[in-house]
Amino acid sequence: MYKVNLIKRSIQLTGAILLLCIHAKAQSPVRMPGNIKQVTVSGQQVKISMDNAFAEITVYSPSVVRVRMDKQPLKADFSYAVISKPTTTKINVSQNTQEIHITTDSLQVNIGKTPFSISFLTPDNKVINEDEKGLTTSWINDQVTTYKKLQDNERFVGLGEKTGNLDRKGEAYTNWNSDVFGYAVNKDPLYSTIPFYIGIHHQLNYGIFFDNSYQSDFNFGASNNRFSSFGARGGEMNYYFIYHPHLNDIIKSYADLTGYMPLPPLWSLGYQQNRYSYYPETEVMRIAQTLREKKVPADGITLDIHYMDAYKLFTWNKDRFPDPASMTAKLKSMGLHTTVIVDPGIKVEAGYPAYESGKAADIFIKYNDGENYTGQVWPGWCHFPDFTSDKGRTWWKDQLKTYMRQGVSGIWNDMNEIATWGQKMPDNVLFSFEGHPATHMQAHNVYGLEMARASYEGARAAMKERPFVLTRAAYAGSQRYAALWTGDNRAEEDHMLLGVRLLSSLGLSGYSFTGMDAGGFTGNATVGLYTRWMQLAAFIPYYRNHTQVNTKSAEPWAFGEEALEIVRNYINLRYHLLPYLYSKMYEASTTAMPVVRTLAIDNTYDAQVYDPQFQNQYLFGDAFMIAPFESSASFGKIYFPEGKWYNLYNDAVTSGKKEDITAINIKSLPVYIKGSSIIPMQSLVQHTGEQPTDTLQLHIYKGEQAHLFTYYEDNGSDYDYENEGFYKRDIIYSGAGGKLTLDKVSGHYNSKFHYIRFILHGFEDKQQLTVDGKAIGVTATSYSFLSPISRFDPQGTFVPADSCKVQQFTIANSNQLINVDL
């Protein structure tokens, strides 16, 4: 009997231990999806039920697949970023006991059933990307994360406005839009959230866009050697997988999802003079008159917060600016457009029209008990419009009309992270989220996007011309509404170089109209740093000089005559290059190819372009390679990717796939032109409202590769281009064949250029060429991209501008096909 009882006790104890183990396993703090229980196929979508989760796999196009997952049945779909719908795509779905198999003509998707996991393969079965087995997707409380297997030698680029190296391998980042005054060069997060990156390995490329507006985290092998991951502190696992053989097609597919930038007004590509702050009106006019007197081309002046009455939005300080409309009209008569800063905070003050109007319209964000949230910023205690509601945006658009009536051309959205003193908005503040109330945790990262949207839509509705809209905070999709600059940087050498990487990364992430505060916002730049930064900024889409209050003046003439001449040279060059830049902005608006292009886009598998000593080099469009260096550098090592490269200043040729050490001086920024490039230029103007001469210069650089350049022109101001009010033609260089073809013109806009002067670089000396079968005389001459610098070196020797030997000829500009035998 004793033995029987002992056996029973042993069985009971064993059972209890087993139950405890099962219970412990069931209560694991990490929740996995488990095994697939049910699969439903509907058109291009596969719905999946699992032990602990639900999923939808949707084919958006042959190369784009969306993955949605949650712990509970998926809710109605909504996104502020994605504006496209799936395109009709031929797919095949099959399954067995082990997996579900989805194929398109470009991609395979394999979904494991026991347990759930997902992998993406090429049509010939090469693994592009796959879940890390055993980890896949999981939840810890409300936090959801997907883990991807780290492939051998995998690189990661993109993720928008992020510090660090071009190749993000071994790093981790957080997305939470933050006000980071004078940020360090390794600071994370910064002002914007663009949760899109590109992975590169084994001659394969893919993109992942994680569309979740909660605070998100990305890990590219930081503190582990097993996985890369992306996750958020709440919401769904919701990502789009993109596969293409080339990076530019991945970027375009991302833009197909989230939208393209609108074509900006031409004036916004000119030089813009900023300061925190220019006031009163007499100071603004002094700056404007000095720009014109010193012949520094410029198109814009920006007013910071001191134009307002006690920092209150939609007001003017009447002592400083007694007649804003008269002032903006005077500036416009000088070819200068006015941009004003706007912050979202509306001061809580009885009798203040914006406050009273906003309160009456009930458009402010609120606590969960219904009381308006109040935070402190420049004017004092403020309420904040809810830009995630239609009525909040409508109210904002109506308020903006006052600026448009006063002749303002640009709206600069600042402090829209949301920034408040203390930098800790409570999580229990509620937002409309288009009628689906959300907490601050979900709405924070999209607030800047929706403020930019309201500003763009409001300015566009109130103006006959295209507005310029700028934003500091952003989310994926903000490129549809606003240019973006990199915030409150420092007047330091490493900040100048970091700025280049930030813009290159933004370009990889679908953002083309970008810039930084040239010269640095905080602190005082040295003469050398200011000069180098202004040279560099001439090759950036948004050309803005800006410095803060209580710093030295930073206008081009504030650093001495030599610096003025050098800086003016590069601003002049920028205005010569406006036909090229405007064409590239048009390209960005239709293909999402950025204007600031990391070398990785065209040289994806060349390890040298990711080397930290070369990662700051970039392409300006597809022709110019810029090599930034500290202003104090006397020599620099430059990497030349595959191809043939011409020195901008003297046409000296360097072959590609090699490094070269070159002497550097502050007189000229190292710039090179890629062989086969086509570069349209115009005569110098002092602002974009001034007509250049009627001859377009077309620079052709001899190369072995064929090249197509799309030349684009319109009136640069209104929306007639949306109704074919443009002049567009493809210009094709055949490469080794030595032929140049100017295709027929499309659009009904008449070009401002009646003649085309062809300027040939690197071609053999010839007396004549054939144009449309007729002989044309060719003239040999010299050409300089920069004017002489009127100075003497320390030895007293005059320093001339560099020049190159070219051949040129001129023909009438015809809208018909033009063939040139070079």
Contact of 821 with 604, CB cutoff 8 Å:
no
d(CA 33, CA 112): 12
Distances (CA, A) of 520 to 1, 112, 470, 634: 90, 52, 18, 22
Q: At what angle do helices 493-508 and 527-537 cross, to 10 degrees?
A: 20
**Rounded Cα gap, residues 193 and 62, in angstroms:** 27
**In sequence order, what DSSP letters do the residues of 412-471 get, joined into one string?**
EE-STTT--TTS---TTEEE-TTTS-EEHHHHHHHHHHHHHHHHHHHHHHH-SSPPEEEE
- If you search the block for the tokens 């003046």, which residue do you land on? 553
Q: Which residues pair with 204 in a beta bridge?
A: 201
- Active-site pick, 167, 211, 414, 492: 414
The answer to whether 636 touches 664, Cβ cutoff 8 Å, is: yes
Residue 16, H or E segment: helix 2-26
**DSSP track, 181-228:** TT--TT--S-SEE--EEEEEETTEEEEEEE---S-EEEESSTT-SSEE
User: In sequence order, what are the beta bridge partners of 769?
Assistant: 776
Mind spelling out the 3-state secondary structure of 518-578?
A: ECCCECCCCHHHHHHHHHHHCCCCEEEECCCCCCCCCCHHHHCHHHHHHHHHHHHHHHHCH
Whether the Cβ atoms of residue 460 and residue 398 lie closer than 8 Å to each other? no
- The SS3 call for residue 15 is helix
Residue 13: CB partners within 8 Å, gap ≥ 6? none
Can 319 be counted among the known catalytic residues? no
Name the catalytic one among 70, 154, 417, 622. Answer: 417
CA nearest 732: which of 769, 757, 756, 698? 698
The one-character DSSP state at 275 is -
How many angstroms separate the CA atoms of 164 and 494, rounded?
11
Clarify whether 714 is annotated catalytic: no
- What's 386's DSSP letter? -
| Rg over CA atoms, the chain | 29
Sheet (strand 99-103) strand order: 92-95, 99-103, 108-113, 116-121, 127-130
User: E-strand spans in 317-388?
Assistant: 337-342, 346-347, 366-367, 375-377, 380-383
Asked if 417 is an active-site residue, the reply is yes
Catalytic residue among 299, 386, 488, 555: 488
Amino acid at 287: I
**Phi, psi of 404, rounded to the nearest 5 degrees:** -65, -40
In degrees and rounded to multiples of 5, residue 713 shows phi and psi of -150, 140
HSE toward the beta carbon, residue 621, CA cutoff 13 A = 28
User: What 3-state DSSP class applies to 666?
Assistant: coil
- Residues serving a catalytic function are 414, 417, 488
